[in-house]
Amino acid sequence: MTENKRVTFGSKLGVLMATVGSAVGLGNIWRFPYMLGENGGAAFLLIYLICILILGLPVMITEFFIGRHTHKNAAGAFKAMAPGTRWSLIGYNGVLAAFLILGFYSVIAGWTLEYILQSVTSPMANKSVEVFASEFSAFSSGLIRPIAWTIAFITITHIIIVSGVKNGIERASKIMMPILFLILFILCIRSVTLPNADKGLAFLFQPDFSKITSSVTLSAMGQAFFSLSIGMGCLITYSSYFNKKTNLQTTALQVTLLDTLVALLAGIMIFPAVFSFGIAPTAGPELVFITLPNVFAQLPMANVWSFIFFILLGLAALTSTISLHEVATAYVHEEFQFSRAKAALLVSTGVLILGVISSLSFGIFKGYTLFGLTFFDLLDYVTAKIMLPLGGMMICIFVGMRVDKKILKAELTNEGTVPFYFFNTYSFFMKYIAPVLIGIVFLNELGVIKGIQRFF
Ligand code: TRP
């Protein structure tokens, strides 16, 4: 009963849309450009794309396998497949990650709400680059407004999670996604036709290999996991609602392609404008929010563009926060025998506390840092760069060690009814390449590899 109250995916398109809805969000349009800007541009993009292909895709297929095979939530799936073992720690890691990600994600999601309002109330056409930047920093470092928006966004997510209007969301994303693509496309064209746009395109597409460091590699890997919503059981939870006919391979391929396309469009939309307006590519989390208004201001009916864009971005964020909230709520609900409403309330309250502190870390808590990171940055770092890759690595090791290849193949080919031409390649990558590569990136970042080299 309670199982059915989670997400139910009506159609083939519904499956794809819900999963794309989870994957496409602030990660693509806000986090990707900001990470790329901070990590040397095209070199980051190159490693990101490699990670998507050789880590992201295999991990996603593997999560789909676990979810549909067990029809369980992130933690329950591991309990079902390996009862009485510690493998369920992978699930707990995921539940905790969902909670922590929501804690900073909802702050940025809240910013989109502020920008929707501003599109209505404050004329943009004649503002200068400096004015946009200073207005943003006044807003984000403020006390009441950003917190109010964060709370508003968490509340909206909460209401959707408890009222189960996911069919509405599913239907909305079918309309929203194509419009989002269209508007990104138009903004890309506007951006690449600005003066000095070529510098931005060069930054994005001409890799400077000397920029590839262990920290850039870890950032790119983390971004690949974050953007695809993998490594923490989100897609295990979603695929537990897939039916037996869903083609797991093509779904994974389509989600990955669409997600990567949106990130690339976001890059093409942002960087030419960044260079044209003289904004620093390393601006950090504010990059997109200070760059985009300038692009809108260069269009006729600036406020209308801004309004439509931020509504779409807010909705894209919402389909992602729902998927994150669902992971934690489903777990609390099933594990502690709380009603769904109570479980959701518990999760939302916790997220609210994290969200408020995260929001304040752009203002009065800016000076409080750990390892040089503010609370916001710390949540982002720990989840994207540690928990998700580690989770992904463990998921691969788990399936590689515990699951009979025949069972794996049967599930991934829908009992032999759809072909899987590259099954052996996939299984080799999942079992050996992905865990080893993720491990190397970790060791490299920790300096272990340099230490060993020095030793010899
Ligand atoms: N992928 C989403 C984005 O790009 C965010 C997200 C949703 C996520 N669910 C997740 C990230 C699970 C990591 C894990 O905005």
What are the pLDDT tens digits along the chain (456 aa)?
A: 344 444 456 677 777 888 999 999 999 999 999 999 999 999 999 999 999 999 999 999 999 999 999 998 888 999 999 999 999 999 999 999 999 999 999 999 999 999 999 999 999 988 899 999 999 999 999 999 999 999 999 999 999 888 865 666 666 777 778 888 899 999 999 999 999 999 999 999 999 999 999 999 999 999 999 999 999 999 998 898 888 889 999 999 999 999 999 999 999 999 999 999 999 999 999 999 999 999 999 888 999 999 999 999 999 999 999 999 999 998 898 888 899 899 999 999 999 999 999 999 999 999 999 999 999 999 999 999 999 999 999 999 999 999 999 999 999 999 999 999 999 999 999 999 999 999 999 888 887 777 777 777
Q: Who contacts 188 (Cβ-Cβ below 8 Å, separation ≥6)?
A: 265, 268, 269
**Residue 227 near residue 28, CB atoms below 8 Å:** yes
CB of 62 within 6 A of ligand 1: the answer is no
Closest residue to atom 12 of ligand 1, CA basis: 229
Determine the distance separating the centroid of ligand 1 and the alpha carbon of 279, expressed in angstroms.
27
Q: Which residues are CB-contacts of 351 (< 8 A; sequence separation ≥ 6)?
A: 99, 102, 103, 106, 154, 325
Between the CA of residue 414 and those of 112, 173, 217, 291, 410, what are the distances in Å? Answer: 41, 27, 36, 46, 6
Report the nearest-CA residue for atom 14 of ligand 1. Answer: 229
- Rounded to a whole number, what is the distance in angstroms from the first to the last CA of the chain? 61
pLDDT attached to residue 6: 47
Q: Which pLDDT score, from 0 to 100, does residue 400 have? A: 94
Q: What angle do CA 408, 410, 412 make, to 5 degrees?
A: 65
The Cα angle at residue 99 between residues 137 and 30, in degrees rounded to 5: 35
237 Cα: distance to centroid of ligand 1 (angstroms): 13
Q: How far is the CA of 405 from the centre of ligand 1 (A)?
A: 29
> What does the domain layout of the chain look like in residue ranges?
3-455
DSSP of 390-417: HHHHHHHHHHHHHS-HHHHHHHHTTTTT
Q: Ligand 1: which atom is nearest the Cα of residue 26?
A: 15
What is the rounded CA–CA span in Å between residue 269 and residue 371? Answer: 33
CB 207 within 8 A of CB 45: yes
CATH of domain 3-455: 1.20.1740.10
CA distances from 276 to 70, 183, 194, 413 (A): 51, 20, 6, 49
Spatial CB neighbours of 328, under 8 Å, sequence gap ≥ 6: 95, 98, 99, 102, 347
Give the pair of three-digit tokens for residue 106. 């909802």
Torsion of CA 197, 31, 62, 351, to 10 degrees: -160
Distance of CA 44 to the CA centre of its chain: 17
**Which pLDDT score, from 0 to 100, does residue 1 have?**
36
Q: Which two tokens stand for residue 208?
A: 């400077």
- Burial class of residue 42 in the structure, from the number of CB atoms within 10 Å of its CB (0-12 exposed, 13-18 middle, 19+ buried): buried
Q: In 3D, which of 330, 324, 327 has the Cα closest to residue 343?
A: 330
pLDDT at 8: 54
pLDDT of residue 155: 96
Identify the helix (H) or strand (E) that includes residue 66: helix 57-70
User: Given this model, what pLDDT does residue 168 score?
Assistant: 63
Alpha-carbon dihedral sign for residues 192, 198, 202, 205? positive
Please, are residues 245 and 414 in contact by the beta-carbon 8 Å criterion? Answer: yes
Which pLDDT score is estimated for 12? 74
Ligand 1 neighbourhood includes 28 CB (under 6 angstroms): yes
Backbone angles phi, psi at 11, to 5 degrees: -135, 175
Concatenating the DSSP letter of every residue in 223-246 gives HHHHHHT-SSSHHHHHHTT--TT-
Cα(320) to ligand 1 centroid in Å equals 6
Tell me what pLDDT residue 2 has: 42
DSSP codes joined into one string, 174-205: HHHHHHHHHHHHHHHHHHHTSTTHHHHHHHHH
pLDDT at 126: 84
Which atom of ligand 1 is found nearest the CA of 324? 9
The amino acid present at 191, given as its one-letter code, is S
